[in-house]
Amino acid sequence: MVDKLSRERRSLNMAQIGSKDTEPEMQARRFAHSLGYRYRLHVKDLPGKPDLVFAGRRKVIFVHGCFWHQHNECPEGRIPGSRKDYWAPKLIRNIERDRDSMAALKCLGWKTLVLWECQLTNLKTLEKRLREFLR
Output the tens digit of pLDDT for each of the chain's 135 residues. 556 666 676 566 655 565 677 999 999 999 999 999 999 999 999 999 999 999 999 999 999 999 999 999 998 888 888 889 999 999 999 999 999 999 999 999 999 999 999 999 999 999 999 999 999
pLDDT at 81: 85
Q: Which CATH architecture has domain 19-134?
A: 3-Layer(aba) Sandwich (3.40)
pLDDT at 55: 97
Please state whether 111 falls in left (phi above 0), alpha (psi between -120 and 50) or beta.
Answer: beta
Please state the pTM of the whole predicted model. 0.83
d(CA 45, CA 125): 30
Beta strands in the chain (DSSP E): 40-41, 52-54, 59-64, 111-116
| φ, ψ of residue 44 in degrees (nearest 5) | -70, -20
pLDDT at 63: 97
Torsion of CA 95, 98, 102, 107, to 10 degrees: 90
Indicate the pairing of strand 52-54 with strand 40-41.
antiparallel
pLDDT at 78: 87
| Domain ranges within the chain, ordered by starting residue | 19-134
Residue pair 30/126 in contact (Cβ under 8 Å)? The answer is no
